[in-house]
Amino acid sequence: MKTLTEYLWFETEKRREIIHITETIRSIVDKSGVNEGFVLVSAMHNTAAVYINDPDSGLKEDIWEWLEGIAPYKPDYRHSQTDDDNGDAHLKNLIMHNQVLVPITNGELDLGTWQRIFYAEFDGQRRKSVVVKVLGE
């Protein structure tokens, strides 16, 4: 079995951003030499997420609107009273999740036609990481 672990680092300019990372993940899979297996892509922070969806910009705006409706940015979360002002970011992480597992088939990411991998930042402007772990033959 082959394995490869790499870390991606992000420091966004804005508090919240969505970053398309499919090509970066694809290049890590290529580097690994794995032909059949899986790649795990996992945000290593409770205020960020990794997800798979369509790259449409209108959908990105819909996602932000939906998340703000469920967990709006506001100062009165209990977490915000005891720690940082990012209670909403922790809740958004619970909704979007922090990792995805993508199959590798014939050396390629086995994604659907419109599926892409994204890093979502909910409390940015500081350095955060994502672990990418490739496993397979």
What integer pLDDT is reported at residue 52 of this predicted model? 98
What integer pLDDT is reported at residue 84 of this predicted model? 80
Q: Is 50 a residue whose pLDDT tops 80?
A: yes
Give 68-71's long-range contacts (Cβ < 8 A, gap of 24+).
70/95, 71/95
Query: How high does pLDDT run on average in the chain?
Result: 95
What integer pLDDT is reported at residue 75 of this predicted model? 82
- 3-state secondary structure (DSSP) of residue 33: coil
The H or E element containing residue 13 is: none
Main-chain dihedrals φ then ψ at residue 9, nearest 5 degrees: -120, 135
Q: What is the pLDDT of residues 100-115, one digit of tens each?
A: 999 999 999 999 999 9
| Confidence bin at 127 (pLDDT 50/70/90) | very high
Q: What is the pLDDT of residues 32-41, one digit of tens each?
A: 999 999 999 9
Q: Is 76 a residue whose pLDDT tops 90?
A: no
d(CA 5, CA 133): 4
Q: Helix (H) and strand (E) counts for the chain?
A: 4, 8
Q: What is the pLDDT of residues 23-33, one digit of tens each?
A: 999 999 999 99
Q: Which two tokens stand for residue 109?
A: 């990411």
Domains of the chain from N-terminus onward: 2-136 (2.60.120.460)
**Which residues does residue 100 pair with via DSSP β-bridges, in sequence order?**
41
What integer pLDDT is reported at residue 80 of this predicted model? 74
- 3-state secondary structure (DSSP) of residue 22: helix
